[in-house]
Structure 1
Amino acid sequence: MTISVAVSGASGYAGGEVLRLLASHPDVTIGAITAHSNAGARLGELQPHLHALADRILVDTTVENLAGHDVVFLALPHGKSAAVAAQLPAETLVIDAGADHRLQDSAEWEKFYGSPHAGTWPYGLPELPGAREKLHGAKRIAVPGCYPTSSLLALLPGFSAGALLPDDVVIVAASGTSGAGKAAKINLIGAEVMGSMSPYGVGGGHRHTPEIQQGLSNASGLDVRVSFTPTLAPMSRGILTTATAKVSPGFAAAEGMDLAATLRQAWVDAYADEPFVRVLPEGRWPSTKSVQGSNYAALQIAYDPNVNRVIACCAIDNLTKGTAGGAVQSMNIALGLAETTGLTLQGVAP
C-alpha cells in the first residue's frame, strides 16, 4: 500500500514534526507541502533538519492543493482547520492537529475559543478506552492537545479502575517553548526563557482544561473537575506532567497487596499491551530527555498516604507523542496499518 499524504502548516513546528515522521514511514509518499505566509519558500530554508525534503517548495494552503491525496494533515492555527476540512472530499482521511474538532461540548468551545463550534471528530488518543474502535476506518480525526495527552495518560488508569475521586484533581505541567508555536514572541526569546520558569493560564483559563476534563469524564463516567496549571520551562521540547487525585474510599487493596501496590498494578495492567506507554520500574521517575524525539510516554505513580492521593508523573515529547506522533499513530489505525509503523524511533540522548 502506498499512501499519498499532504501536510499543511509545514513551516511550523507541528507541521515540520509530521513531515519528519512521514519521511521515514515506509508506506507514505509525501505530496503537497503547504504554508500560508511562507508559500513559495524552499522547505530547507525553514526546516533545515528535514534533509530529504529540503528542496521541496511550499505551496499555498488551498483546498485545491490539498485535495487529491489519501491523507491530509492540517497543522493550522486553532480555528482555521474547520473551513478547510469542510471542503475536502469525504473519502479523504483528514487529521486535524489543531483544536477545532476535539471538544464535544459546543458551549465549552465557544467559552475557551470564542468562535462557533465546528463539530466533534473521533479523538486521536488510541490509549483511551474504546478509542481504537472509533479510529478504525475513520475519515476525520482530531489530534489531542499536547497537555491533554500527557494529563490523560497520567490519570486514565486510575479513573478507568474506579480508584480516583472526580472532584479534586490537580494537574501541573511544564512544557518546552515549542508548545507555543513558531511565531516570534517576546516571552519566548532566549533571554526571557533561559534560567527561568513561569506559569500561565492560571486559574482554569487554559484552553486545554475542558479537553482534559472531557477525556477523564468519558473514561470514568463521572463529572471530573480539574485544576490545571501549565508552566513554561527553559527547554525547546517536552512536557512533564504531575497529576494528583484523591483515592476513592471504595477502592480497596487487592488480596495480599497494600493500597500503594494495588494502585500501581492498575497502571501497569492498563498499559501492559500499549506499544508507546512505559510504566517505569519502581523508584525511577520520568524525564523529558528520555522521550525526546520519540512517540513514547514514560510514567510513574506513587501513593501519598498522608493525604490519600495518587501522584502520577508523565513525560512526553510535546511535538511527537503530543502532536505529530499521535497523528501518525492514529493514521496507521484508521488505514489498517500496524499501529507502530514509522514510529519506532527511540529517544535522543544526551
Structure 2
Amino acid sequence: MATTLADIASKAGVSQATVSRVINAKPGVSDDLRDTVMDAISALGMPLDRLQRNGTRLVAIITPDLSNPIFPEYVTSLTTLLAQQGFLAIICTCTPSGTNEDGFLSMLQNQPLAAAIFLCGRYDTKGSGLSVYGSLSERNIPTAFLNGGVREMNGLYTGTDDATAMTIALRHLRDLGHRRIGLLLGDRNHNPSILKYNAADQFFLDEHIQHDKDLTAWTTYGVESGQMAARALIERGATAIACASDQLALGAVKATRSLGLSIPRDISVTGYDDSPAMGYMSPSLTTVRQPVDKICQSTITALMAMMENKRLAARRDVLLFEPELIVRESTGRCTER
C-alpha cells in the first residue's frame, strides 16, 4: 500500500497540512518540526521526490543575460550535473528589459524548489539590500551564490578567487616589462571588480609600481563600454590593460585597433573568464581561466549535502577556487610608443 500524507502525519504527530508544507518547502514550519516530518518520511521508506509535485525535484538557476558566453558555460555545466542527480533546472534569465531577480523570486514562491543557484543578483553588489532572499531562507531552501563575494546571510558562496586572478594577470604583465598598466573593471559597486581592484592596489604597492588613479576605469560589462573606457586608458599612456572580463578585453582590442595601434606590439591586453572562442580570435586572448567545471561540481555536491541535512543550509560556507593564467597572443613585451 502506498504511503499517504495521513501516514506521515500520524508517524510525525502533526497535521496533514504541516506535512504538505514541509514536502512543498513552504514557510511557516519550524526547523525542529520540519526535521520531525523528514524523519517520519525516511522511517516510512518514502523518498521525498515521490511526494513532491509530479515527482519532479526542481532547482532554480538565476542567471544574467546569456550574451556573455561564460554564463551559458556555467548554466550548461550546472544543468547537466543536476540532471545526473535527478533534478530539473529552471533557468531564470534576468535582462534589463525583461524579468528581474525580484520578479523571478516572486514567481518561484509557490514552486516546490529543492535548491536555488544564483549567478547574479543583489548579493554581488556592495551595500545592496538582501531582503529579496528572505522567501528562500524562510522556506529553508539550500541556496548557492556564485562569484559575488561573501555577504551577511546564510548560504554557500563559491566561485573563482578574484584577488588571485588579478594578481597573476598583473604579474604576467610586469614580467613583460609593463609598468603603466591600465585596469579596466566593471561597475564600481560590483563585488568581484572591487576584489580585483583591491588586489591590484596591493600588487602595485608590493612591487613598488606607481599606479596613477587615471589608469583605472570603472564601467559596465560589455564590449562597447569596454571599448570606450579602454580608449581613454590608452590615451593616458597605458601600455597594457588588465580587464575584469573577456568582454571588456574584446572592447580593449577594438579600442586599440581604432587608434591605429597593434596588439601586442603597442598594447597588451588580458581578459578574465577564458570564455569559449577566446583562443580562436585574432590575436588570441591572454586571459585568466575560471575553473567552471570544478566550481559547478563542488556547488552541486554541497547542495546535495544541504538537502540531506537542512542544518547545513542554515550556515555560511565559502569555497574559492584557484584560477589559471592562459597565455596567448594578446600580450607581449613592453615597447615605448
TM-score, length basis structure 1: 0.34
Larger Rg: 2
Determine which structure has the larger helix proportion and give its number.
2
TM-score, length basis structure 2: 0.35
